[in-house]
Chains A and B, each alone.
Chain A
């Protein structure tokens, strides 16, 4: 899930597996694109790139 600036990955029991922030001032959406990471996108303060990935432990 994304909150305003953080991308957070939880397991089924709600335990946090990974959390990270990029240089986005606002995250709008997320997706599981690869086996070991999650993607999120939003508005990057440094003018890009908009997509960040978070490695899942």
Chain B
């Protein structure tokens, strides 16, 4: 038998919330916690409160329609005026997984008492255990444990569920969150994640050569062409990890790298940080070759011959996000050319395999998902622009060219 005290606290909180708005039609009651049960509080939404909050949000962001705001807010617990109200009674519970699990028991107990209504009225109410950071899939899984089918079906249109489409398969990695990928010329791929995720896998066998969750923040990685060294961005440095031995050593002190790129011959490493200048290092001597103060958090790529480094970045200008791209001499940092990309919220670069052209993708925020076509730049100076016809397809996050010689074909 579950400890009834959490149900008593939940009943008290939800009753007080109802009493705050006795005329409102409440459609959502939830206990708000974390996966490890760090704390619990009550949260709820009513149709009337949602309508009021949508009006407020619409004033702040008129680019989204009322319907879009309504969909985004309908089950967004922290946006509710009832969130975390009347939750003093939860303070006495001890944190832990047991508290998390007890949330489900508490709501089931209220359900048995008919607190959320019955019959047709119950199907208009969704009850749940929610976190600040959870996927809609997990939200649905919790909801299915606590609600009749009819109530769940009414919530489904507001959820964004991720289903595999196309000829896609889960490929691998013992991690669920990855921010950086890097491929060596000898068929080895490395990944890294901001939560410390690091892996180096043989492409052919998918066998991990190294795989571990470290304590760092590895937003970016770059694998040497022979896969013997993995350069890892960390909180305030670049590390070198030997994938075979698993040992990491310091390569250079720098701001937290957002992106890393290694020259095709492995001789130079470029690091673009969240808040520090773009820096290029000699990998043998570990000496910094040059830096550029103007480039922050850029998408960077060496040309196939290693002579040039392209960097696309964003900057705030009069409240707008503006993109720009520059082509640097990789050895000296001399700017070969630069160009504005106009308004953009993302930008990324990729060289063609022969190095004659640099593709630059950007996207503009125009409503919800709309994007704008990106230009293609020649590597020659001055840049010539040519529109690449296929780029108006979603906000582009990353781009890679496939080389003429298929990677892996010789194995």
Contacts and interface: CB of A to CB of B under 8 A. Distances in A.
B397 A3 contact: yes
B118 interface: no
B181 interface: yes
Interface in A5-53: 5-8, 10, 13-16, 18-25, 27-35, 38-53
Contacts of A2: 396-399
Interface size class of B (residues with CB under 8 A): 35 or more
Given A3-B396, A39-B181, A45-B138, A14 B390 contact: yes
Interface in B389-411: 389-391, 393-400, 402-403, 406-409
Interface string B157-195: 000101111111111111111111111000101010100
B24 interface: no
Contacts of A54: 166-168
Contacts, number: 174
Contact of A21 (B165, B172, B402): B165
B397 A14 contact: no
Interface residues of A, number: 49
A8 to B, nearest CB: 6
B162 A7 contact: no
B197 interface: yes
Contact of B178 (A10, A35, A42, A57): A42
Contacts of B400: 1, 30-32, 38
Interface string B252-272: 000000000000000000000
Contact of A53 (B160, B165, B169, B174): B169
Contact of B169 (A4, A10, A24, A52): A52
A49 B165 contact: no
B136 A50 contact: no
A54 B171 CA distance: 9
Contacts of B31: none
Given A3-B397, A8-B393, A49 B164 contact: no
Contacts of A51: 170-173, 178, 181, 191
A-B pairs, 6 with minimum CB distance: A20-B166, A3-B394, A14-B390, A48-B176, A45-B135, A20-B168
